[in-house]
Amino acid sequence: MTRSAQSPEPTAARRGRPPKGAFRLSREAIVEATLEVIDADGVAAVSMRAVGRVLGVDAKSLYNYVDGKDGLLDAVAEALLGGIDLPAPTGDLGNDLRRIALAFRTQALAHPEAAALVLTRQLSSFEGLAPVEAVLRILSEAGFDPAESVHLLRTFVAAVVGALLREVSAGPTYGATNPELVAERVRVLRGSGLANVTAAAEELARFDGQAEYRYAIDFAIETVLARVSS
């Protein structure tokens, strides 16, 4: 719905190389424009044409900077990953893991609609490796060998991603933000006829993203700590 045309001039119909001094396209500008579209209308609303519209440029021009729509979405995921503010390690294993996990969540929730992209896409780029390096370093300094470190890294990342994915895909449906929706949800759950679902309906209907996330992280960290000695 929201449409922000931000071309510096009313871009007259024109062909060929743009006059110098004119707005210059760039990978960064394109990623930013895509995030604008995503924040406003969700990932499903992303199209080459829609992004071009935001920039006041023909959709086809994007192909000079980005490898098609798929490449565009990859670029967005990478930009978000690269933007994670990794905390300096303190030497305290549990705390350091927790702080990385929280930084990850902060970045993911900065663009909730885009978060699933980061969580779902294959992150093999250099940008995606920085958080990996950070976790491996912490584990290695805690005395884990590479093989065990990788296992723990993967398990830790899976827990974090799973928790975040639920949080962003559940969206604002859950949450104490809307007690009316929670009540409605309780009713639905009670009507399921499933004994244990009914018994836990109140707890199932309520959902505090941050608290739930901390619980999941602490759960994982607890087990990592239990293995330090072994």
Partner DNA sequence: ACCTGAACACCGTTCAAGT
Indicate which single residue of 43, 59, 102, 150 sits in contact with a copy of itself (rule: CB under 8 A). Answer: 150
C-alpha–C-alpha distance, residues 212 and 145, integer Å: 30
C-alpha–C-alpha distance, residues 67 and 96, integer Å: 37
Binding mask 59-78 for DNA (x = CB under 7 A): xxx-xxx--xxx--------
C-alpha–C-alpha distance, residues 171 and 209, integer Å: 9
Binding region for a copy of itself (CB under 8 A) out of 74-82, 89-97, 99-107, 115-123: 115-123
Q: Residue 160: which residues within 8 A CB-CB, separation 6 or more?
A: 101, 104, 105, 216, 217, 220
**Nearest Cα residue to 163 out of 89, 113, 108:** 108
Chain positions contacting a copy of itself, by CB under 8 A: 116, 119-122, 124, 126, 129-130, 132-133, 136-137, 140, 146-147, 149-151, 154-155, 157-163, 165-166, 169-170, 173, 188-189, 192, 194-197, 199-200, 202-204, 212, 215-216, 219-220, 222-223, 226
Chain positions contacting DNA, by CB under 7 A: 11, 13-18, 24-25, 46-50, 57-61, 63-65, 68-70
